[in-house]
Structure 1
């Protein structure tokens, strides 16, 4: 399925008001992980109340010990501070990387903004070296904008 087709699937999931926010987020994780071969772990992290840390939300993939990530730590923690997309073609080359699995070769993290505030992010790990393109970034930015509508 192309990114364009997946966009309409995501919009459909977002509009399913009979489902909770977490149920919709999980469905988004599932369709991304199922339909994009190099998306091997897909999840959401959100700011944990007033704390300077992220808390794991819905995800699909191998279980992770990283349920709480302090701001500044790892790729997700850096995005929480920088408010910028972070594409890591080779996680082994990153000094401030938190390893989730030895099979992870690359990672992309895109922040989610509500009213200009960074409230969370989508985090994707890949077992494929350097798989993420600008098309992935634009697609995931679209996902984050859609998800933001659920969080207002």
Structure 2
């Protein structure tokens, strides 16, 4: 399914009634994981600015021990500090990488802003080297713009 075809489905999930925010976030994770062949782990992390940590929210994919990540550590922690998208074509070439699974070959992390504040991020892992393009980044930015309306 193309990113353009996925956009109205994301909007439908976000605007659905009688579901909690976490249920909506999980539904978005499921949609992306099932619809994009190379999205093998999809999840959200949310910032605790006081503690300078990220906390795992809803996700779909292999279980992870990385439920709390300090700002600056790993790809997610770096995005919490930089406020910029981070695409890692090959995780084995990245120094500050937290290995979740030997099957993960690449990663993209896009920050989630609410009122100009980076409150978290969407994190995608892939079992393929270098699958992410600018189109993935633009689509994930769109997803996060929709998710931001839930906060």
Match of residue 110 from structure 2: 110
For 1:49 and 1:56, how far apart are their aligned partners in 2? 14
* Secondary structure, aligned partner of 1:150: coil
Match of residue 36 from structure 1: 36
The total of aligned residue pairs comes to 151
Match of residue 137 from structure 1: 137
Gaps of 5+ in 2: none
Task: Confirm whether residue 149 of structure 1 aligns to residue 144 of structure 2.
Answer: no
Gaps of 5+ in 1: none
Q: Alpha-carbon deviations, 1:4-38, whole Å to 9, x = none? A: 11000000000013100000000000000001000
How large is the RMSD of aligned CA atoms in angstroms? 0.7
Match of residue 62 from structure 2: 62
TM-score normalized by structure 2? 0.99
For 1:41 and 1:56, how far apart are their aligned partners in 2? 13
Match of residue 124 from structure 2: 124
TM-score normalized by structure 1? 0.98
- Ranges of 4+ aligned residues in structure 1 off by more than 6 Å: none
* Secondary structure, aligned partner of 1:65: coil
Could you tell me how far 1:51 is from its partner in structure 2? 1.3
Match of residue 48 from structure 1: 48
